[in-house]
Structure 1
């Protein structure tokens, strides 16, 4: 007989791939076929406030030159603008009105694809899944070193970050020795 853990891990892998494929397809249908550009738009909409290109690069897990090329493409498409950064030497990136609309379409498409993936579950089953996924994500955060941010496509309102309910943010707070990040309390150090 096969090891149940191998079966469950394989099922989780297939689920992750199916959700990623459905989300990518929904975002492309909403007008953004490039997953990295979609993540940049989402991050700029949901949690990055006029970041430098380097800050955006770190969120997306890009090289410096890759981030510059991405911002160039987004600027050429009229989705972002560059302006002076906080220190006068850096350049800040901001969504244009067209970029905000595109980011909102990306966010809505992602949310719709994810809600559809859960549509076959009852409220009680979704609640159980919520707890289990939170534990899995906590373990992933504990093991993760570097690379793109896990929340780069997240809607930070939907995840509950503001109220301390995001398992990913809470696991990161534990890992890095900070309090859970809540907007109604002083910010935790990075």
Structure 2
């Protein structure tokens, strides 16, 4: 009996990993406008949009990038007019703010990400989709261990589709680190 249960769980894990890989490839293909593009720019703009005034160091940690790579990314975004870097009380820290142009630039990528995955749900009934939503929330909720983990997990989330008060990741956050 235990062996059958273990094999069933292994099969489920295998199918979930394969499906996650398929979704990842579809989303990456949707978000790339050229072969060397990564999702870091969209993710950075999105994180800065919900964590207004985030520092370079905090953004690097949320993106899981080196400080140097984050500074280069922010410089590119600033040159495009998508980000405004401001000095704070601590002159050593740069605080980042998304411009209206940055908000406008990131939204199509976030919407396209959802659209790329939405078609998978077409085979489910409304009841099955509701059940899947509940299962996803249950699987995601324990992953929200701190603000940086939540920011990284939700870095490409479309927040009108999943506002913070309904997000299983944000629901566990008591507070965000002071900037």
TM over 0.5, shorter chain: yes
SS at match of 1:93: strand
Structure 2: runs of 5 or more not aligned = none
RMSD: 2.8
Q: Deviations over 1:47-91 (max 9, x none)?
A: 121221112112111221121111122223332222223534321
Q: Who is 1:65 aligned against?
A: 68
Which of 33, 37, 42 in structure 2 is aligned with 1:38?
42
Q: Assess if the C-alpha contact under 8 Å between 2:47 and 2:151 holds in 1.
A: no
Relative to 1, partners in 2 of residues 1:86 and 1:23: Cα closer, same or farther, differing over 3 Å?
A: farther
Relative to 1, partners in 2 of residues 1:166 and 1:99: Cα closer, same or farther, differing over 3 Å?
A: closer
Mapped to 1, the partners of 2:152 and 2:58 lie a distance apart of 11
Mapped to 1, the partners of 2:48 and 2:162 lie a distance apart of 16
Relative to 1, partners in 2 of residues 1:128 and 1:41: Cα closer, same or farther, differing over 3 Å?
A: same
Matched, 1:89 2:92: yes
How many residues are treated as equivalent by the alignment? Answer: 170
Mapped to 1, the partners of 2:33 and 2:150 lie a distance apart of 27
Q: Assess if the C-alpha contact under 8 Å between 1:27 and 1:109 holds in 2.
A: yes
Matches within 5 A, 1:178-189: 178=174, 188=175
Matched, 1:151 2:154: yes
Matched, 1:20 2:21: no
Which of 19, 28, 50 in structure 1 is aligned with 2:53?
50
Matched, 1:169 2:173: no
TM-score where L is the length of structure 1: 0.75
Which of 124, 127, 131 in structure 1 is aligned with 2:130?
127
> Offset at 1:29?
4.3
Choose 51-60 or 81-90, whichever is displaced more: 81-90
Q: Who is 1:7 aligned against?
A: 11
